[in-house]
Structure 1
Amino acid sequence: MSALAMNETLTIARLGQRGDGVAETVQGQVFVPFALPGESVRAVRDGDRAQVVEILTPSASRIAAICPLFTRCGGCAAQHMGEGLYAEWKRQQVVTALSRAGLETEVLPVVDAHGVGRRRVTFHARREDDGMRVGFMVAGTHDLIEVQACPVLAPGLERAPIVAQHLANRLRASNKPLDIQLTASEAGLDVDIRGHGPAGDALRRQLTEAAERLDLARLAMHGEIIVERRAPFQLMGKAAVTPAPGGFLQATSEGEAMLSRLVLDAIPKAKRVADLFAGCGPFSVRLAEKAQVSAFESDKAAIQALSRAANHTQGLKPVAAEARDLFRRPLLEHELNVFDAVVLDPPRAGAEAQVKRLAASKVPLVAYVSCDVGSFARDAALLVAGGYALERVTPVDQFRYSAHIELVGVFRKTAGRK
């Protein structure tokens, strides 16, 4: 806190987008982490930020956190919120973003897609004195906090802290900060290490020995496979998909299944579907159980994983997978018009270039999966301006206790605007 920090009593009016309590004062809004609407708190204030010293009047929606590191570890923002408040806060993020874009539609209740927990985690490792410190980032800093267990992780990641520490110890001679990403697969742990740089022959032998000792399915460094003892596959519908090391995955298995279910429900009669920003194919392989699919994705390794899975799965209709940068080379109207429906799941920045082409197309149905309410609202407004009706939006929560919310929006081309 600066020398201007002040100790005062604040009344919390509402929750902000990141989960902070927001107090209205004569000097403007003050954001108070871990405070809830209706609470009166004594806080140390510094500008428009404040830290709680004491909760004078607790909210009826306040509950006990499930993790002793909550408020110190930067991973969770909302373990103190009761279920009703938590769900409405996440839903309201979607409502607010759509309203700001001038859009009106039905926003359904939040779907809980946490399932058994997150199947991927990244530990950070830093050299300190003679050892390696491994853990998560302290909230609002670049400092590390050691983590023995994390209650939001899937059971398949139970060994993750021990494995990350062992691998960091093996790499301590590099004196480099490391990011160790661990994914729970059907065959065991899949690990990708970033930050070290290329591994020489001696280090590759050491890491291979470590993978054997730790019983890892696969160990990679910067996406390059060091050793693959078992294919670290993920079940996606009928298909067994082995993503590239560090390749994108939905946070939870339940989240992936729920998003896929919402997509399939949105386009039940489509016979030919384009899957844009397809990744390694979580939607494509499920869609292909009923429809012919053309999948497009800029990541060549992801497209290769999708193609292998589709080719080795019985009972699927044809899947054509193409590596294509849809930001620089979006599908044009004549390419889009052959499809009964389009599914798109772009990264956080959205898909503005592709959406402009889609808005000018004749595609009857669009199912848009988004991980960012702001970019979705921007793109949704473009589709609506091009003659689509936004029929409904379903928020999906697979990042429990975080400020993150995903959604599926369903668009239908309106009569007379083709």
Structure 2
Amino acid sequence: MDETVTISRLGHRGDGIAETQEGPLFVPLALPGERVKVARSGKRGELLEVLEPSEKRVPPPCPHFGVCGGCALQMLPLEETRRLKRGFVEEALLRAGIEAKVEETIGAPVDSRRRAVFSASRSGRKVAFGFHRRGERRLVDIETCLVVRPRILAALPLLREIAALLAREKRELRMSVLETSVGLDVAVTGGAPATSRLVSRFVGLGRGAALARLSLDGEMLMELAAPRIPIAGVFVDPPPGAFLQASAEAGEAMAALVAGHLSGAKRAVDLFSGLGTFTFPLARQMPVLAVEAEKASLEALLAGARGAQGLKPVEGLSRDLLRFPLGPDELKRFDAAVVDPPWDGARAQAEMLAASGLKRIAMVSCNPASLARDLSIVLAGGYGIERVVPVDQFVYSAETEVVVLLRRT
């Protein structure tokens, strides 16, 4: 049944929220102050028509916006989305009882996504390639994407062709694409088994194109050039499908904040180090222990360190910090730490940091809510906040990166 509501505010996922007699109604793509017609389904409403638009509403720059679920905020000017993300951080901290000044958002370029995950599905001879539709399991077949790097955008026809050769009925194929210094590293999961004839075809498609490596379910099918990623002047060969900051520019901005804050420390530990976004900038100044659960990523980090010049010693420790956090006794070796956990945060590691004698800590997160929870634990251990800086790494989405710099008081 259709109804008309007025949007009062935006939620942290980018949905408009209308207060109704049945409780909050979440309406994607709607803005505060707008009067809209929606089709209600429980607590969510599908936007049917904007009856009274906000003065801030602008035409979306991507033709797929509104159907594709990849972006949530293209109906706002870019700078307004960055003010909004700053507000998301402020709200998350206040809900956790934390009072702190939140600085203006650092913004990455719009087309800076060097890592993107596409999906594909087959129905008979037809293959859809793109992203999930907003709020659905079905895919929207894309022809363009505003936020990926130009090299990935130019390769969409090639990626679509690879997906068409590997997609199976009734099983979604996922394709992780990473731009490296020598070409695209494409890691496919959920695809059909590849025959030698099919691999030969991939080689033919890749020659003269942007493709460097293609893997299927962790097994390399072909490599025309060894993928390499520069991180703070260190070249790292990432394993297929490895996690990396989605935007090099955003990663460098966060690393500069962390390295500047921890400058002067005698020894640092990088918790959830990944491929070394923070390890290598810190290792230009001090010895660093990189702690990471994914062994392949840690091995790539250490190999990069061995081949680099001008670094202080870099050690590695393979460990699941969500289950087995570094305790105060283990942290005694260090006087500084950076922690960049997954989306849900790392409560147990935060408790260990709070009980440690570390002089300075940098906390990085892609989820303001879990960050605020973990931050409140560390603050209770005797630390004070020096800076809170949002970073708009995922442009036009509602995702917000945050860097918080702390010092023991």
TM-score range, shorter chain: over 0.9
Q: What residue number does 2:284 align with?
A: 289
Picking from 226, 235, 238, the partner of 1:240 is 235
Match of 2:95 in 1: 100
1:376 CA displacement? 0.9
> Which residue pairs with 1:6 in the alignment?
2
Q: SS of 1:107's equivalent?
A: coil
Q: Is the 8 A contact 2:110 2:147 kept in 1?
A: no
In structure 1, C-alpha distance between the alignment counterparts of 2:194 and 2:256, rounded to whole Å: 42
Alignment root-mean-square deviation, CA: 1.9
Residues 331 and 354, structure 1, Cα contact 8 Å, conserved in 2? yes
Cα 1:247–1:115 change in 2 (3 A) is same
- For residue 288 of structure 1, report the CA deviation from its aligned partner: 0.9
Corresponding residue for residue 207 of structure 2: 212
What is the deviation of 1:174? 7.3
Matched ranges for 1:18-33 at <5 A: 18-33=13-28
Question: Partners of 1:172 and 1:28 in 2: how far apart?
Answer: 42
SS of the equivalent of 1:106 reads coil
1:365 matches 2:365: no
Amino acid in the other structure paired with 1:351:
A
* Cα contact 1:115–1:255 (8 A) shared by 2: no
**Contact map agreement 2:110 2:395 (CA 8 A) in 1:** no
- Matched with 1:168 is 163
Structure 2 CA distance for aligned equivalents of residues 175 and 21 of structure 1? 34
Q: Does the Cα contact within 8 Å between 1:6 and 1:46 map onto a contact in 2?
A: no
Distance of 1:200 and 1:54 partners within structure 2: 50
TM-score (norm 2): 0.94
> Deviation of residue 197 (structure 1)?
6.2
Please tell me whether residue 328 in structure 1 is matched to residue 323 in structure 2.
Answer: yes
Select between 26-35 and 301-310 the one with higher mean Cα deviation: 26-35
CA contact 1:115–1:254 (8 Å) conserved in 2: no
Partner of 1:41: 36
In structure 1, the gaps of 5 or more residues are: none
Displacement of 1:215: 4.8
Is 2:376 aligned against 1:381?
yes
Q: What's the CA shift for 1:391? A: 2.5
Is the Cα contact below 8 Å between 1:101 and 1:381 reproduced in 2?
yes
SS of corresponding position for 1:165: helix
Please list the CA deviations of residues 112-137 of structure 1 after superposition, one character each: whole Å capped at 9, or x if unmatched: 12364211222211111223222221
Displacement of 1:184 after TM fit?
A: 1.1
Identity %: 42
Q: Tell me the SS of whatever aligns to 1:71.
A: coil
Conserved in 2, the CA contact under 8 Å of 1:123 and 1:179? yes
Partner of 1:228: 223
Contact 1:123 1:164 survives alignment (8 Å): no
Q: Distance in 2 between matches of 1:199 and 1:53?
A: 44
Q: CA deviation at 1:158?
A: 1.9
Tell me how far 1:205 sits from its aligned partner.
4.3
Asked if the contact 2:14/2:73 (under 8 Å) is kept, the reply is yes
Residues 355 and 383 of structure 1 are in contact (CA less than 8 Å); yes or no, is this contact kept in structure 2? yes
Question: Which consecutive residues of structure 2, in runs of 5 or more, have no partner in the other structure?
Answer: none
Within 5 Å, which residues of 2 pair with 1:13-412?
13-114=8-109, 116-172=111-167, 176-196=171-191, 199=194, 201-212=196-207, 214-412=209-407
Q: 2-side partners of 1:19 and 1:298: how far apart? A: 32
Contact preservation (8 Å) 1:267, 1:341: yes
Q: Which amino acid aligns with 1:148?
A: E
Q: Against the structure 1 CA distance between its residues 205 and 151, is the aligned structure 2 distance closer, same or farther, given a 3 Å change threshold?
A: same
Greater displacement, 372-381 / 122-131: 122-131
Following superposition, the deviation at residue 57 of structure 1 comes to 2.1
Looking at structure 2, the residues matched to 99 and 340 of structure 1 have their Cα atoms a distance apart, in angstroms, of 29
Amino acid at match of 1:7: E
- Alpha-carbon separation, structure 1, partners of 2:37 and 2:395: 28
Q: How many residue pairs are counted as aligned between the two chains?
A: 409
Whole-angstrom distance in 2 between the partners of 1:94 and 1:374? 8
**Inter-partner Cα distance in structure 1 for 2:262 and 2:245:** 21
Distance 1:413 1:189, change over 3 A: same
| 1:168–1:116 CA distance, 2 compared to 1 (3 A) | closer
Seen in structure 2, the aligned counterparts of structure 1 residues 245 and 40 have a Cα distance that, compared at 3 Å, is same
The DSSP-based 3-state class of the residue aligned with 1:105 is coil
Contact 1:174–1:196 at 8 Å: present in 2 too? no
CA deviation after TM superposition for structure 1 residue 210, in Å: 4.0
Deviation string 1:29-57 (CA, Å, 9 cap, x unpaired) is 22222111122223333443223333232
